[in-house]
């Protein structure tokens, strides 16, 4: 024991010179490898790209889903441009069936970024015909057609007026459809699958539901909401096996939503923060911007505040509240607290949506799984 104690710390530790040499050798190796990687960057990028393309082009994220009801925000915002807040767009997957509610700007591209196959979209449901809810519809229908050589047009469900909307898009895209068929032929662009087919329905009366789908464990129902002077306007309730969700669409606070949200697992509700919009209004007036001042005054009466949406969620006893159609967009730290303005105290089981926000409701379970926060 004594002989061991005679060794000093210096005798047990490599000399400073040895340490420096090892550091220099390590740095030299790193520099060499970095130099090789830089010189071979094109080759490396090519290999990564080839591998990535094989994986991406052959994949549809829906194939990886367990049985249940899935929801993803392909657009969490309203008409104002902002990061992670594209135009209103909601993807609903029931089992392996993919549906879209509203088709705002960049919704289709966000679906692609999330791994959804556009060619698998079974139908689109429109809540109303404001531009920010329909401006991505033509692109969505086109890519759905040519990415899977679909032989039937895209069904688009909506209240009265949808025939006019769909007819206008079909007319606008008619030349493009001719070009694509002339270039690619039936293999890619069979003429029978081009465009969209309108599926109009009478807007339900308050207190009633209109059933649009009722088959194979799936029911899709429309309910009336109030977005006056925009009429008609509807929301949608999806029920798959024992799981359910409701999408409000644009609306002021409505008892009809509370009634038909009773006990649903997930309520996806639009939200506009009056306190923040009032700040925009005051700034517009100070800047003598009459147009923006008028808009920020007018929009307050036909949307729902976060507190009001939270009250609806609480009173309906929903499992979770997901805010979407966020107005104004949340673009800096701390703004979410201002946006909520106390709503978190009214109903604490909430998420403020972003592009890519995803929830999974497994069949045969009560679980509500927040599986993805954003893109």
Sheet containing 209-215, strands listed edge to edge, beginning at the edge strand earlier in sequence: 209-215, 218-224, 234-240, 243-247, 266-272, 320-327, 350-352
CA distance 250 to 267: 13
Give the E-state strand segments of the chain in sequence order: 68-75, 89-94, 97-101, 121-125, 154-159, 196-201, 209-215, 218-224, 234-240, 243-247, 266-272, 320-327, 350-352, 358-362, 369-372
Within 8 A by CB and 6+ apart from 30, the residues are none
291: left (phi over 0), alpha (psi -120 to 50) or beta: alpha
Quick check: is 315 catalytic? Answer: no
* Identified catalytic residue from 18, 67, 102, 132: 132
Phi, psi of 351 (to 5 degrees): -140, 135
Cβ atoms of residues 355 and 84 within 8 Å? yes
Q: Hey, which residues are catalytic here?
A: 132
């Amino acid at each position: 024991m004594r002989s061991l104690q005679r060794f000093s710390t210096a005798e047990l530790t490599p000399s400073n010179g040895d340490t420096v040499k090892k550091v220099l050798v390590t740095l030299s190796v790193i520099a060499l490898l970095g130099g090789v990687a830089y010189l071979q960057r094109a080759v490396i990028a090519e290999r990564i790209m080839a591998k990535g393309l094989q994986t991406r082009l052959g994949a549809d994220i829906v194939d990886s889903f367990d049985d249940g009801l899935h929801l993803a925000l392909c657009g969490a915002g309203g008409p104002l441009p902002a990061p992670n807040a594209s135009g209103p767009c909601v993807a609903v997957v029931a089992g392996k069936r993919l549906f879209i509610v509203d088709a705002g700007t960049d919704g289709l591209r966000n679906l692609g970024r999330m791994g959804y196959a556009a060619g698998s979209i079974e139908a689109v449901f429109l809540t109303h015909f404001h531009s920010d809810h329909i401006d991505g519809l033509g692109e969505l229908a086109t890519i759905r057609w040519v990415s899977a050589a679909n032989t039937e047009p895209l069904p688009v469900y909506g209240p009265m007026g949808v025939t006019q909307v769909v007819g206008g898009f079909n007319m606008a895209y008619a030349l493009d459809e001719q070009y694509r068929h002339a270039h690619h032929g039936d293999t890619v662009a069979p003429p029978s699958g081009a465009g969209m087919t309108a599926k109009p329905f009478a807007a339900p009366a308050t207190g009633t539901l209109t059933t649009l789908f009722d088959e194979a464990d799936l029911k899709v129902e429309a309910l009336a909401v109030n977005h006056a002077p925009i009429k008609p306007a509807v929301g949608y309730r999806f029920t798959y096996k024992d799981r359910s969700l409701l999408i409000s669409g644009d609306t002021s606070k409505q008892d009809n939503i509370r009634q038909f949200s009773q006990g649903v697992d997930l309520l996806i509700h639009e939200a506009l923060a009056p306190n923040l919009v009032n700040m925009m209004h005051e700034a517009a007036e100070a800047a003598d911007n009459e147009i923006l001042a008028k808009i920020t005054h007018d929009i307050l009466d036909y949307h729902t505040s976060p507190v009001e949406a939270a009250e609806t969620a609480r009173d309906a006893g929903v499992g979770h509240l997901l805010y979407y159609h966020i107005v104004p967009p949340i673009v800096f730290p701390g703004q979410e607290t201002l946006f909520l303005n106390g709503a978190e105290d009214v109903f604490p089981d909430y998420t403020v949506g972003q592009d890519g926000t995803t929830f999974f409701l497994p069949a045969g379970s009560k679980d509500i799984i927040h599986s993805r926060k954003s893109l």
